[in-house]
Copies of this chain bind each other. A is one copy, B any other.
Amino acid sequence: MVGGGEGAFIGEIHRIAARLDNHYELVAGALCSEAERSIRSAKTLGISADRSYIDYQEMAKKELARTNGIEAVVIVTPNHLHLRIAEIFLKAGIHVICDKPLSATLEEAQAFAEFARKSDKIFALTYNYSGYPMVRHARALIAKGQLGEIRTVQIEYAQDWLSEKLEDSGHKQAAWRTDPKLGGEGGLLGDIGTHAFHLSSFVSGLQPTEILADLNHFVEGRSLDDNAHILLRFSGGAKGMLWVSQVAPGNENGLRLRIYGSKAGIEWSQENPNYLKFSPLGEPSKILGRGSPELSESAVKVTRTPPGHPEGYIEGFANIYAEIAHAVYAAREGKPVPHDVLFPDLEDGIAGMIFIEASLNSSRNDGKWVLLNN
């Protein structure tokens, strides 16, 4: 693991998610750029001293040299460092699992992509919300045509924790996320908007083609946006609406997805993720759960507990890790990623960066439609 030392939030989540299904063991790390802290963090996590690194370059080199060196590295640093680290590990023949968004700028993402597309190592990106069983079932319903032709995609991701200027009062998570140099120009779009954007096409199966954005930073003195009102157009004629906010009091982690087609509609909310409302036209709405009959294979394979025994955020995150593990197992035998293994990858990451860039572009032009192409 690179990054994720003391005080980091997402690093610990990655560690628990990786551990949950017993596919991964944490054996090496460069957890922090400060030497002392990095070593202390590694020790706390049970990493042996000889695999506790300060410098990720050294880590890549030394792990490559070991017979029992790491097979995969997890990158959980601030955004602007993701890809320079990823490149080094890929070059060392080590699979990469990278936190989102892909990078701080589209430019560096595209440069990296050129290199990474030629690598035969796995590059996975943790858009973790695509790991929830009912999200996968929603995707399967749509793929099977049960919604008919998709007409509208209503997606939102609302939080409230940046409603005040938290970054001024020493809040570490708030500070780096609102600093363009560390988090990128995207602000909330990179932090949470990319999750929602990814989910909208992951579930709908549609390609977003055009975007129009009205971005705002409502908290005085903040340099990055904290609210985004976005319209989308998809290939095939569907339309979408995306609201992203970190200044909406009463919303903790309100990622919600609704998709409507000519035959049926669906609704899903991340905060109670074990249920999916399915409304076939002319029939009563049905509450589908993990125990529903005819649950799709793709949902069944990512659930552990019986219906009524709720699974949560960590389980959804762990599903991404489990899927990547299956890809690693295949890679060990020189096989491609199996068809039924599903995790976000480089192309999803690039799409997210294009989304950020195009949104900024549209908003700076007072809301003109901008094409979403590479």
Contact = CB atoms under 8 A, between A and B. Distances in A.
Interface of A: 9, 12-13, 15-16, 19-22, 46, 151-152, 154, 156, 159-160, 163-164, 212, 214, 216, 218, 227, 229, 231, 233, 237, 239-241, 243, 245, 247-254, 258, 260-267, 270-274, 277-289, 291-293, 304-315, 366-369
Contacts of A237: 218
B369 A306 contact: no
Contacts of A254: 308
Contact of A243 (B22, B241, B284): B241
A130 to B, nearest CB: 15
A236 to B, nearest CB: 11
A13 B305 CA distance: 8
27 contacts: A13-B305, A15-B22, A16-B21, A20-B314, A22-B46, A151-B216, A152-B229, A154-B156, A160-B279, A212-B212, A214-B239, A229-B239, A229-B240, A231-B231, A250-B266, A250-B285, A252-B289, A253-B306, A273-B310, A274-B312, A284-B287, A286-B287, A305-B312, A310-B310, A311-B312, A312-B315, A367-B369
Contacts of A16: 20-21, 304
A312 B307 CA distance: 12
B309 A311 contact: no
A142 to B, nearest CB: 13
Nearest to A279: B250
A304 B314 contact: yes
Contacts of A241: 229, 241, 243
Contact of A315 (B164, B245, B291, B314): B314
Given A16-B20, A245-B152, A252 B308 contact: yes
B250 A267 contact: yes
Nearest 5 pairs of A and B residues by beta carbon = A250-B279, A253-B308, A252-B308, A312-B312, A310-B312
A231 B281 contact: no
A314 to B, nearest CB: 7
A152 B304 contact: no
Given A214-B231, A312-B314, 15 more contacts: A15-B22, A16-B21, A19-B22, A20-B314, A151-B247, A152-B227, A212-B367, A245-B260, A250-B267, A250-B285, A284-B292, A284-B293, A309-B312, A311-B313, A312-B312
